[in-house]
């Protein structure tokens, strides 16, 4: 089963996808994580993506679609794939059609006020990528690594990312709704509650 995670930055897509991948043996593809790794390693792809990521803009579709297609071709697991942060606009969704069938789109809904609060206090582990709040301290709760604030989680960039989300990514909600495969979950709750709703929906759909 292949599942697309939808929702604004900070809605909890990554947190839920990581957990689902660990517990239910899905492959997890996070385009944001892949770009950050490419950037850290100074690869040509990372260098091309850098200017867009720093401004909170979308990396050009061609680069993203090719990158995802390569990752999908490398996957060995056949239990399914979780796409987190992809597709991000209609062109990407259409480009993927035929390459990978989408069985379900899970939209994690959180109000914008809450999203701004979450993103501006979000900290990322330098070591394992775990996401937590600034209130959790300077050390990763999962692995003890050092945490930092991503440049694109700083206020100026957050607002641009939300504009990009509203203009380009939000229309995907209707796109998947029209296909009859959209499941909406209230993401403004405890992580465990959101997770159990998601698992129940997947089991029902299986």
E strands in 49-92:
81-84
Site pattern 71..110 for ligand AMP (x: CB under 6 A):
--------------xx-x---x------------------
Q: List C-alpha distances in Å: 175 to 4, 109, 142, 159, 178.
A: 12, 16, 36, 24, 5
Q: Which of 13, 19, 36, 118 is catalytic?
A: 13
Cα–Cα distance between 41 and 177 in angstroms, integer? Answer: 38
Site pattern 149..168 for ligand AMP (x: CB under 6 A):
---x--------x-------
- Please identify which residue in 53, 105, 108, 202 interacts with ligand AMP, judged by CB under 6 A: 53
Binding piece for ligand AMP, criterion CB under 6 A, among 28-36, 72-80, 130-138, 176-184: 28-36
Contact 61, 92 (CB under 8 A): yes
CA dihedral 28, 33, 38, 40 (to 10 degrees): -140
To the query of whether residue 123 is one of the catalytic residues in this protein, the response is no
Site pattern 5..24 for ligand AMP (x: CB under 6 A):
----x---------------
Using CB under 6 A as the binding rule, whether residue 131 contacts ligand AMP is answered as no
Q: Which of 134, 164, 128 is nearest to 9 (CA)?
A: 164
Other CB atoms within 10 Å distance of the CB of residue 53: 21
Using CB under 6 A, count the residues that bind ligand AMP: 17
Cα–Cα distance between 76 and 68 in angstroms, integer? Answer: 14
To the query of whether residue 36 is one of the catalytic residues in this protein, the response is no
Cα–Cα distance between 104 and 204 in angstroms, integer? Answer: 11
- Please identify which residue in 59, 81, 119, 158 interacts with ligand AMP, judged by CB under 6 A: 59
Q: What are phi and psi of 125, to 5 degrees?
A: -75, 130
To the query of whether residue 189 is one of the catalytic residues in this protein, the response is no
Nearer to ligand AMP, 96 or 140 (CB): 96
Active site amino acids: 13, 88, 122, 150, 161
Which residues form the interface with ligand AMP (CB under 6 A)?
A: 9, 31-32, 35, 52-53, 56-59, 64, 85-86, 88, 92, 152, 161
């Amino acid at each position: 089963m292949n599942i697309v995670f939808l929702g604004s930055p900070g809605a909890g897509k990554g947190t839920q996808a990581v957990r689902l991948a660990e517990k239910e043996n899905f492959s997890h593809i996070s385009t944001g994580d892949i770009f950050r790794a490419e950037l850290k390693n100074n690869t040509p792809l990372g260098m091309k993506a850098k200017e867009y990521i720093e401004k909170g803009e979308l990396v050009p579709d061609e680069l993203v679609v090719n990158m995802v297609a390569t990752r999908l071709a490398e996957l060995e697991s056949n239990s399914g794939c979780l796409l987190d942060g992809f597709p991000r606009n209609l062109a990407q969704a259409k480009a993927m059609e035929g390459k990978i069938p989408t069985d379900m789109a899970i939209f994690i809904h959180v109000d914008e006020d809450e999203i701004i609060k979450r993103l501006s206090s979000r900290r990322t582990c330098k070591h394992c990528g775990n996401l937590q709040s600034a209130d959790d301290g300077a050390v990763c709760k999962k692995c003890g690594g050092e945490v930092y604030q991503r440049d694109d989680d700083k206020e100026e960039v957050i607002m641009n990312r939300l504009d990009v989300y509203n203009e380009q990514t939000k229309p995907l909600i209707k796109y998947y709704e029209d296909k009859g495969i959209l499941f909406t979950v209230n993401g403004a709750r405890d992580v465990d509650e959101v997770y159990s709703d998601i698992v129940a929906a997947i089991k029902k759909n299986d």
